[in-house]
Amino acid sequence: MRDFNITGLCVPRMHYMVDISAKVDEIAAMVDKGLYFTINRARQFGKTTTFFMLGERLNKKYLAVRISFEGVDDGSFTTNKSFCDMFAKVFARALKITEVSHEALSSWQKDVPADMFELDQLIASFCVKTSKPVVLMIDEVDKTSNNQVFLNFLGMLRDKYLRRSAGEDSTFQSVILAGVYDVKNLKRKITGEEILSASGERIYNSPWNIAADFKVKMSFAPNEIATMLTEYENDWHTGMNINEISGALYRRTNGYPFLVSKLCKMIAEDMDKDWTIDGVERAVKAILQDENTLFDDMFKNIENNKKFYDLIYDIMVQGREIPFSSKNPTIELGAMFGIIMNKDGKAAVSNEIFELVISEYLVSKMATDISVTSKVFKEDVVKDGKFNMALCLEKFAGHYYEIYSETDEKFLEKHGRILFITYLRPLINGQGFYHMETETRNTLRMDLVVDYGSQQFVVEMKLWHGDKRHEDAYEQLWKYLDAKDKGEGYLLTFDFRKDGKKKKGEWVEYKGKRIFDVVV
C-alpha cells in the first residue's frame, strides 16, 4: 500500500504524489528550445522528484543523463584534473542505465580527460556519436560548488554553448542544474573573480550568464494537491471533501511540497485519518512541535546571517512593510531559501506554517535573552477551563514598567509587542495556541490570534501614532472581527512617549461590538 513520502525521491508506485506532469511538460519545452538553466529552489521543494520525472519524460526524445554531486568527495574538486576524472566516471556510470549505443559508451570510456580542454573534446566527440541529442542533468549541484574548479567547468560549458550557437562545436542539447543556489550567482560564494575557460582565457563575468530564467512554479496549487488526495481517497474511501481539504492545506502551506506531504502524512498516520478542517488544524499544531531538517535549515539560515535575522524580525514583529526587490541581496537570500516571497510587491514570510514556527522561535529566543516573569498566575486568568484575556491584558499593563523598568527604552520600542507574547506564552502553554495574523499586518498594527480550548481571541497590537490613529484602530479591528464573525476583540497599544497617557483596560462599545482597550 502506498503512503505519503517526505524523504528523498517520490515514486508513483510507492507513494501518493501530486500530478506534476504539467510542470514537467513546461520544463521539457525549455529543453526543446536548447536552453541551459538552473532549477534553484529551497530544500525539500521536490527538486529531486521533478528531476527524476523530467528524465523519464525526456528519454522519449533525448538521451537524458542524470548525475548528482551528492556524496562526491571534496578532493574531486581540488584541481581541474581531479574534477575531469571524477566527472568522466560519474557520467559513464549514469550512461550504463540509459539506452546509449555501445559505440558511444565505448568512446566515452576510452580516454580519461586530464584537463578541461580534453573534457571539452570528449563531450564534443560523444555528442556526435549518439543517435539522440544529449541532455546533461546534474542534481545537488551546489553541494561542492563553492570552489574555482567547478566554476571553470561551467565556463567550459558556456564556451561550448556559445560555439554551438555559431555552428562551431557539438555539445549538449541542454544542461540542467538543480540546487538551492542560483548557479548564476555562485561566484559570490568564492574569493576572487577570475574564471578560466577551457582554452585558458579569463572570464570576468558569470560563467553561467547563458542560463535562461527558470519561471516554472514548483509549489503546488490547490487543484494539484487535489490530485494526490484523489489517489488517496480512491484507496481509503474516507469520504473527505477533497476540494475543501486541498484548499485548507494550501492556505497553511502556500503549496510548499514538503509541508503539504508532511501534513497529509500526519493526518493519515497520526490523526486517525481525520480528513476534516479540524484534522488539518490538528496536524498544523502537531507540525509546530515536530523536529525536521527543513525547520532546522530555516533556523540555521536565519541565525547565520544577522541582516537576514533583522529582516525576518522587522517583518514578523515590527510589522514593517519592506518592498520586495531581487536586487536586495538579503531579500534575494531569503527567497532562495524559500523563507521569503513576493506578496503584492512586499517581502513576506512564504507560508503560514513558517510564520508560526518563526514566531515561536523568536519568542523562545526572547524568553531566554531577557528575564520575563509573568506577574499573574495561570489560575488567576483561567477559571473553569476558560481563559480571561481581559484580565491577562490588565495584569500585563499594570506591571509592564515594573517588569521592564531597567530595560532600555529603544529596546522596548522595538521589542515591546513580542514581550507581551512572551508574557502570555506560559499562561496558555498546554491548552493554548497563538499565531501572528499576517493578512492584516501593516506598519501600525499586528494582530495576534490566540486559541485556548474552544475559545479564540483576537488581540490587535499597535504602536501609538496619535488619537486619530487610535480611533482608526477601532475601525480596523471592527472590520477584522466582522470578517471573523466575532463579537469582541482586544486592542493593546504601546505608547513610548515620556508624557504618554497610559490607561488601564476598559471595554468600549463600537458599532455593535465590544473592544477591550488598554494602553501601556
> What CA–CA distance (Å, rounded) separates 249 from 260?
6
Question: Could you tell me which residues come within 8 angstroms of residue 297 by beta carbon, excluding any fewer than 6 positions away?
Answer: 43, 337
CB 312 within 8 A of CB 349: yes
Give the count of alpha carbons within 13 A of 312, CB side only.
30
pLDDT tens digit string along 281-303?
Answer: 899 989 988 889 999 999 999 99
β 503-510/513-519 pair status: antiparallel
Q: Is the pLDDT of residue 438 over 60?
A: no
pTM score of the predicted model: 0.84
pLDDT tens digit string along 44-66?
Answer: 999 999 999 999 999 999 999 99
pLDDT tens digit string along 114-148?
Answer: 999 999 999 999 999 999 999 999 998 877 655 78
Of the candidates 329, 258, 265, 321, the one whose C-alpha atom is nearest the C-alpha of residue 293 is: 258
Looking at the chain, the whole-number percentage of residues with pLDDT higher than 70 is: 86
pLDDT tens digit string along 244-267?
Answer: 999 999 999 999 999 999 999 999
- What pLDDT, on a 0 to 100 scale, did the predictor assign at position 410? 65
- What pLDDT, on a 0 to 100 scale, did the predictor assign at position 142? 79
Q: Calculate mean pLDDT across residues 414-432.
A: 80
Q: Is the pLDDT of residue 195 over 60?
A: no
